Homo-oligomer: A and B are copies of this chain.
Amino acid sequence: LKSPFAKLSPIPKENVQFNEGFWQGRLAKNKAAMSKLLAALREHGVLDNFKHVKDPGVERRGPRFTDSDLYKWLEGACYALPDPILQPQIEEVCSLIVDAQGEDGYLNTYFSHNRAAERFADLEHGHELYCAGHLIEAAIAHRRATGKEELFQAAIRFADYLVSQFGPGKIEKACGHPEIELALVKLYKETGEEKYLKLARFFLERLDFRGQQEILGHAVRATYYASGLADLYLETGETDFLAAVQRLWQNMVEEKIYLTGGLGGRVRSESVGRPFELPLEGAYAETCAAIGNLFWNSRMLAISAEGKYTDLLERTLYNGFLAGVSLSGDKYFYENPLAYNGKPYQEPWHSNENRDLYERKLWHGCTCCPPNVQRLLASLGNYFYSASPEGLWIHLYDNSELKWQIDGVPVHLVQTGNYPWDRKLNIQLKLPKQHEFSLFLRLPGWAKNYTLLLDGMEHQAKMRDGYLEIRNRWQDNKVELNLELPVVLMEANPRACETRCSVALMRGPLVYCLEQADNPKIPILDTKLNLAEALTLDATDTLGGIMKIQGFGKIPQEPFGPLYRPLGSKNQQLAPVNLTFIPYYAWNNRGTGAMTVWLQKG
């Protein structure tokens, strides 16, 4: 499955086993939430919509893109197999899908019956090819997990129908929401059929933003589009695609991304917005956009083997993405603000404008994020390791085991530690016979100092773009990596006006926040951080075993008065307070209340 222009080859999750640690419990809860989400999809008519195609007596319900929600659920459930509960649910869903497919291969529950004539008429808004893409991805996952062909063949029929309908001299348009491109590349890799790659390329070129200097528009579309560009480079090696996607990435990290890895601050149009348009309260930062960012960065990593992409991938994973799901694993955020005043905002003249009551829930009117979270978590093992001709790469850390072969020699690798809480990581390798290769350990960008021991001896590893290369003849060896893991105060480019003169706390990959629940009497959004005082760790076990941070702050003792006043007016009196910070991902798990990631320097 290695792409010809990738430096790194994927190591699929089937080779990775999570042991007790940061992720194992989360993945178990995620699996348990899948049946709940399926029940909610059923309750809201998403399954019945497929019956509707052949039986107009069954009503079609929900937004036009609901098919994709079920496809994403299916893909996630397949990643979670084997599982005795999910197995029959998966087969029921597959049957529904296969039964609903048209003779010509087309399938979309919205564009049927009285809307059948509208097929492909409004590609910009219709989400038809977007849905098709998610069907193809689900079908590939299903075949890989079960070996069954029926759904996969249905996806092939649909893909072949698209090949017959789209292209030069045929319909010369692409879907308004990229996704089909990723699916077609995957199908090309699955089948070796060039026609799918060609169609993916055709669609991406219709969207043609290759002259584009900045990442723009709907954040999920933008990240899926960028992922598609990266896929095209990986398969074709054409440097135009690479240059375009590198430029977009650079622009993103210089002007457009939240500290959490969230993307897209603009609520209207769910989009990235202007340079430095990064509102904190009311930030959209859709969970699906964080997922898109994970897709994109994992592809950039495969292309380049550069740690800067892993750094952003990890930061997004632990913050902008992980905040999207509750600690219980079955409730989801659609929007991920970086500050909240704790109060709902009701627009008196727009009764549907009531976005600002932040509470995770299982079901959303537009329910794209929950199944996307499920499929990402269920496939998390894919993101931990890679292979290259030189050896084995470790990108992410957690207590886990890898079984793999290098040059035909079995390798058993065991990671232990308490990442991301503790600084010490142990990696044990066992091989049946001695074999020489490089082990590439990611040295996170946030780790300014480290020590590295090989079998208890200090080791001088070569730095390669954020990875420590340990060349060795391996058989039964222990590697110990000690990462400096202090609390770090982060600042932003002052051009981002919302974060001027403010700091955010990070420790390792985790962004921290100040939440009302831990600081019950403090005006969270008015609180300054006292930089002269130390920040200390607090391992009191709450919120599923987190490390809190204790610090000191200052809060105003009196109202400011009118919003504006001449500079040099009497300063507000400030009073010292103790502050407790928790990881951003853990906020909003004890009811809804005020929260902030950024604090004024005080």
Contacts and interface: CB of A to CB of B under 8 A. Distances in A.
B281 A277 contact: yes
Interface in A251-309: 253-257, 259, 267-269, 271, 273-277, 279-282
Contacts of A256: 563
Given A277-B282, A495-B525, A495-B526, A124 B349 contact: yes
A511 B99 CA distance: 67
A564 B217 contact: no
Interface residues of A, number: 72
Interface in A160-215: 176-177, 207, 209, 212
A367 interface: no
A373 B269 CA distance: 30
Given A492-B564, A495-B560, A353 B254 contact: no
Nearest to A526: B495
A600 interface: yes
B560 A490 contact: no
A207 B349 CA distance: 9
A476 interface: no
Contacts of A277: 281-282
A516 to B, nearest CB: 16
Given A259-B563, A504-B564, 19 more contacts: A207-B348, A209-B348, A212-B348, A216-B348, A253-B563, A267-B268, A271-B350, A273-B282, A275-B341, A339-B497, A488-B566, A491-B567, A492-B563, A493-B560, A494-B600, A497-B499, A497-B500, A497-B598, A500-B600
B500 A348 contact: no
Contacts of A564: 259, 490-493, 504
Contact of A254 (B341, B499, B559): B559
A535 to B, nearest CB: 12
A598 B346 CA distance: 29
A212 to B, nearest CB: 8
B349 A497 contact: no
Quick one: copies of this chain in the complex?
Answer: 2
A350 B277 CA distance: 17
A218 B350 contact: yes
B269 A347 contact: yes
B275 A563 contact: no
A256 B562 CA distance: 10
A221 interface: yes
A356 B216 CA distance: 13
A490 B271 contact: no
A450 interface: no
A563 B255 contact: yes
A489 interface: yes
A525 B276 CA distance: 11
Given A257-B563, A494-B600, A496-B563, A274 B489 contact: no
Given A563-B255, A600-B500, A273 B491 contact: no
A279 B280 CA distance: 10
Q: 5 nearest interchain CB pairs? A: A501-B501, A268-B268, A489-B567, A493-B560, A217-B348
Interface in A487-519: 488-504
Contacts of A273: 282, 345
A343 B254 CA distance: 17
Contacts of A502: 497, 500
A255 B498 CA distance: 16
A219 to B, nearest CB: 10
Interface string A211-240: 010001110010000000000000000000
A84 interface: no
